[in-house]
Amino acid sequence: MVLPRFLKRTPLHVAVIVIVALWSLPTTGLLISSFRPQNDVVTSGWWTVVEHPFEGSNWTIKNYSRVLESDGLWRALANSVVVTLPATIIPITIAAFAAYAFAWMKFPGRRMLFGGVVMLLVVPIQMTLVPLLRMYSGLNLSGTYVGTWLAHATFGLPLAVYLLYNYISSLPSEIMESAYLDGASHYDIFRRLVLPLSAPALASFAIFQFLWVWNDLLVSLVFLGTDSEVATLTATLNELVGSKGEKWHILTAGAFVSMAVPVGVFLGMQRFFVRGMLAGSVKG
């Protein structure tokens, strides 16, 4: 009886394997090519490695040392870290305070202000670029990390406030009230109760914002530029496509360097990511 059931499910399994293979094929090709010698990459398809997979001369890590050192990807990696970490932490902190105020403090104009913040979710970044760039050159902020953090922080804020409000406002009110009656201030309640209890929501927004900022090209092109002193990985990779478009040993390794961190973070924290996505997330 085992065999018929197994046979009946075979088409399903074949379909699943085909889909998974199809989806992974592009990335696999890139990964394999990035470890092949310069000449091999441009003369034969990456799939030909299956003929002699264990031959040492078919593999090299030179491409990586090349892109990291001579093509400046170490610096770009550092720049991406400098841009991404504050651009993730700043909006979360600011949004958490705002969400707490909206959820647990009473003040005139509360509903209107909150509605206004949520409404800003519909504004695309493009709506701000021309004037922001003008303001930035007046304020000496263009081409600086600080200017880029502020832009990223602002663009992430509406979603952050919205998501964190949904979570923080659903925390049980008894805990807050008893802490308040015990003489705890709002600041203490926020720091000692609300923040730890909201850890899952904070983590999922943090991952979103992290991936968003790390993978962004538009904001970093406009506000930071392509000067190698400050350019992020995405901007640098885009430059490589322009200047070394046919040197596939460089491009494949470069693309992989730019993907390594977000893919690692993503695989490590998939649980929070999925939870955040299910909580609803769209970005302006």
| Binding positions for another protein, 107-126, rule CB under 8 A | 107, 110, 113, 117-118, 120-126
With CB under 8 A, what is the number of residues at the site for another protein? 115
User: What x/- string results for residues 248 through 277 when contact with another protein is judged by CB under 8 A?
Assistant: x--xx-xx--xx--xx-xxx--x---x--x
**Positions 177 through 196 that interact with another protein (CB under 8 A):** 179, 182-188, 192
Q: Which of 58, 97, 169, 244 binds another protein (CB under 8 A)?
A: 97
Whole-angstrom Cα Rg for the chain: 24
- CB 155, min distance to another protein, A: 7
> What secondary structure letter does DSSP report for 60?
-
Q: Which two tokens stand for residue 229?
A: 């002193």
**Positions 24 through 53 that interact with another protein (CB under 8 A):** 24-27, 29-30, 33, 41-47
Query: Is 173 an interacting residue with respect to another protein (CB under 8 A)?
Result: no
Distances (CA, A) of 141 to 148, 218, 223, 230, 243: 8, 17, 8, 13, 28
Calpha distance 79→105 (Å, rounded): 39
Calpha distance 128→153 (Å, rounded): 14
Going 8 to 10 to 13 to 15, the CA torsion angle's sign is: negative
Are the C-beta atoms of residues 148 and 224 closer than 8 Å to each other?
Answer: yes
- CB 222, min distance to another protein, A: 8
- CB 56, min distance to another protein, A: 22
The number of helices, as runs of H, and strands, as runs of E, in the chain is: 15, 0
Of 77, 73, 49, the C-alpha closest to 252 is: 73
Q: Which two tokens stand for residue 152?
A: 């990223």
- CB 172, min distance to another protein, A: 16
User: What x/- string results for residues 4 through 23 when contact with another protein is judged by CB under 8 A?
Assistant: --------xx-xx--xx--x
Residue nearer to another protein on the CB measure, 61 or 124:
124
**Positions 128 through 147 that interact with another protein (CB under 8 A):** 128-132, 135, 140-141, 143-146
45 Ramachandran zone, left/alpha/beta (phi>0; psi -120 to 50): beta
- CB 31, min distance to another protein, A: 10
- CB 13, min distance to another protein, A: 7
